[in-house]
Amino acid sequence: MQNILIIYPHWPPSNLAGVHRARLIANHLSEFDWHPVVLTVHPDFYEEKQDWDMLKTVSNSIEVHYVNACKVSKLRIIGDIGLRAFFQLKRKALQLLKEKRFDFIWIPIPSFYMAVLGRLLFNKTKIPYGIDYIDPWVRDISNRKNLRSILSLSIAKLLEPYAVKKASLISGVSVAYYKPVLERNFNNRPIQHIGMPYGFDPNDHFIKLENIKYPWDDFPGCIPYIYAGAFLPKSGLFIDLLFKSLFQLKEENKLNEKIKLFFLGTGNYSHKSISEYAQEHSVNEYVVEIRDRFPFLNVLNFLSASKGVLLIGSTEKHYTASKTFQSILSKRPVFSIMHAESTAVEIFKECKADSYMVEYEEREENEKLQCRIKESFENYILEQKEYLPDFEKLDKYSAKKSTEILIENINKCLNYK
């Protein structure tokens, strides 16, 4: 059995979205004769609220090692946990690489500074490494040109070429996330690369929590529809047109007054809020926004107990919502608005979960898009279309399949059969 070292500074009980990338891959590695060793930071140094139920989703086959980190100062000059624990992770990684034979090092990012650690470890040990892009490192910051963002982008442009130069594998949750990396850094040199989705572990959806409080418990008798996840700036157009449609349906007396759209865990963002959009369109009586994050398993339980699920994507075509699979696997009808070129659209169509999906075309006028959103949402709340997903079609998007694809490409890097 080969050994793989996964370096990711967050691990359950962390409730951050990126944790699932490392967790889902690690859970299935032993099925492909690879022993997963995870190097992470001790939970005492996490800033976010911890979710101990998350430990129920971790395979017993995973070996986990923890390091300490520098604590966050009162001014929070350095918040990134990968940076706060950089030298501790480096020291422990070198120790592990010395004590046991490792065949490969795999580093999901962000934290982006972990990619630099991969290069440094390679320089010391010559053990091949791969960088996995959960998010783009060098990115468009046109919507947030504050000093911190500008500085972060400058550092990214400086460090990314160094970090990826010696990598044996570039992977990502979407090819679009890392394609510019290849174009910037590997024009004259072929490199193994692969895109594979987050996927899902069906076992997560069988974990039922007892005595949890549902967001709609405070609204007895309501009909709950759930959107769960961060609200991104480039999702604003879709929310605006959806709420405009909601108001029109209200004026046409086509809305059941008991309907509530719950937007959960939308985050501490600075752009125009969902609540403000609702107020602007006079539909605030139908909309409840709770910005605080909810534990992962709580969210899965919320979705499966709701009347329906909302999946609001982004006007960016490369955006692939990690919520795609949990939305479909909730086994509740899904209303979605996605860029037509998003890989999520293909997934919805393939498993026949697209009955209430609206595809966004960049050149389409907003008025026409809004009409289509209204028509689809009206059909959705009135259940006027058949919604019978083929869940077996999702198998090729599972975390197990993503792990298989990753291992196939690692084996190619190592010239294994």
pLDDT tens figures, 125-157: 999 999 999 988 887 766 666 777 778 788 888
Mean pLDDT of the chain: 92
| pLDDT-based confidence at residue 404 (cuts at 50, 70, 90) | very high
Do the domains 204-395 and 2-199+399-413 match in fold?
A: yes
For the domain bounded by 2-199+399-413, which CATH number is listed? 3.40.50.2000
Helix (H) or strand (E) holding 228: strand 223-228
Burial 335-356 (b: 16+ CB within 10 A, else e): bbbbbebbbbbebbeebebbbb
- pLDDT in the model for residue 152: 79
d(CA 413, CA 411) in angstroms, rounded, equals: 5
Name the E strands within 301-342: 308-312, 334-339
Residue 239's pLDDT band (boundaries 50, 70, 90)?
very high
* pTM exceeding 0.85: no
SS (H, E, C) 101-135: CCCEEEEEECCCHHHHHHHHHHHHHCCCEEEEECC
d(CA 264, CA 241) in angstroms, rounded, equals: 19
Compute the residue count for the chain: 417
Q: Where are the domains of the chain?
A: 2-199+399-413, 204-395
Q: Where are the alpha helices (DSSP H) in 284-339?
A: 296-305, 324-329
CATH of domain 204-395: 3.40.50.2000
Kindly state the tokens that stand for 374.
């209204």
* 327 to 148, 215, 314: CA distances (angstroms): 34, 17, 16
**Please, are residues 405 and 190 in contact by the beta-carbon 8 Å criterion?**
no
Report the pLDDT value the prediction gives residue 337, as an integer from 0 to 100: 96
Long-range CB pairs of 362-369, under 8 A, 24+ apart, other chains included: 362/315, 362/317, 366/237, 366/241, 369/241
Q: How far apart are the first and last CA of the chain?
A: 13
Strand order in the sheet with 223-228: 287-290, 259-264, 223-228, 308-312, 334-339, 356-360
**Cβ proximity of 407 and 3 under 8 Å:** no
- Which pLDDT belongs to residue 264? 97
Sheet of strand 2-7, all strands in order from the earlier edge strand to the far edge: 63-67, 34-41, 2-7, 104-109, 129-133, 169-172, 192-195
pLDDT digits 0-9 by tens, 280-336:
999 999 999 999 989 999 999 999 999 999 999 999 887 766 688 899 999 999 999
Residue type, 80: D
- Give residue-wise pLDDT tens across range 186-237: 876 789 999 998 889 989 999 999 889 999 999 999 999 999 999 988 999 9
